Chains A and B, each alone.
Chain A
Amino acid sequence: KAGVTQTPRYLIKTRGQQVTLSCSPISGHRSVSWYQQTPGQGLQFLFEYFSETQRNKGNFPGRFSGRQFSNSRSEMNVSTLELGDSALYLCASSRAGGPRDEQYFGPGTRLTVT
């Protein structure tokens, strides 16, 4: 069974640009969560999608947005990039997003903003 895949793995962008990251969950998983990982702030929850609906959102500005498609694949978009957006972005999938469902993490997308 294929794991969670994230594309691209590495990305370099300039301040002010926008970026879209992609996450393909494990087949059969309907919940996808996104996290930002930085050395200073650690792992922070961005948002979670289930059946194409955002169910929960962390404390990030509106520049961070996401969506989920009918095949459960998810994208995350960051507009007007800032230097502080440089981070490892992780997505995780689970069957239904409940606590008894194990979350499986992808390898992440390393975003560098210059």
Chain B
Amino acid sequence: AQSVTQLDSQVPVFEEAPVELRCNYSSSVSVYLFWYVQYPNQGLQLLLKYLSGSTLVKGINGFEAEFNKSQTSFHLRKPSVHISDTAEYFCAVSDYNFNKFYFGSGTKLNVKP
């Protein structure tokens, strides 16, 4: 079975600073990787996904992530954050026989003015 580790439960950062949210996964098979964002009292929204091809994936709201197969990582980055990026971010993995996701425990990004 897959497992996903998000190394930081909370990340405080000042507005306009860069941020990196870390995600590592364990799997013996090829996987698909995703980042979701959850704003308070809302469901999850897909930020970006890696299915194949280029290891650098660009998503919505200026976020990007890099798939590193040797390090089994899929870290999320943004060069300059805004107050509106304050939310909880979830990394998820599914295998090729997709019917379910395995989610990380989430990272709360707190952007301060």
Question: Which of A12-20, A64-72, A79-87, A98-106 binds B?
Answer: A98-106
Known contacts A99-B51, A99-B94; is-contact A42 B106 (Cβ 8 Å):
yes
Contact A107 B46 (CB under 8 A): no
A:30-47 near B, CB below 8 Å = 33, 35, 42-45
Nearest neighbor of A50 in chain B, beta-carbon distance: B99
Contact B99 A43 (CB under 8 A): no
CB neighbours (8 Å) of B28 from chain A are none
Known contacts A42-B106, A105-B44, A107-B43; is-contact A48 B90 (Cβ 8 Å):
no
A101–B49 CA distance with the chains assembled, in angstroms = 11
Looking at chain A, what size class is its interface with the partner chain?
A: 20 to 34
Known contacts A56-B99, A99-B32, A99-B51; is-contact A42 B105 (Cβ 8 Å):
yes
Looking at chain B, what size class is its interface with the partner chain?
A: 20 to 34
Known contacts A42-B105, A42-B106; is-contact A98 B98 (Cβ 8 Å):
yes
A107–B27 CA distance with the chains assembled, in angstroms = 30
CB neighbours (8 Å) of A100 from chain B are 51
Contact A43 B100 (CB under 8 A): no
Q: Let me know if B84 is at the binding interface, CB within 8 A.
A: no
B:2-50 near A, CB below 8 Å = 32, 36, 41-46, 49
CB neighbours (8 Å) of A102 from chain B are 46, 49
Could you tell me which B residues sit within 8 Å of A by CB distance? Answer: 32, 36, 41-46, 49, 51, 90, 92, 94, 96, 98-106
Given A33-B100, A92-B44, A97-B99, output 7 extra A-B contacts at Cβ < 8 Å: A35-B103, A43-B101, A43-B103, A55-B99, A90-B43, A92-B43, A107-B43
Task: Name 30 interchain pairs, CB-CB below 8 A, sorted by A.
Answer: A4-B43, A33-B100, A35-B101, A35-B103, A42-B103, A42-B104, A42-B105, A42-B106, A43-B90, A43-B101, A43-B103, A44-B103, A45-B100, A48-B100, A56-B99, A90-B44, A92-B43, A97-B98, A97-B99, A98-B98, A99-B96, A99-B98, A102-B49, A103-B46, A105-B43, A105-B45, A107-B41, A107-B42, A107-B43, A108-B42
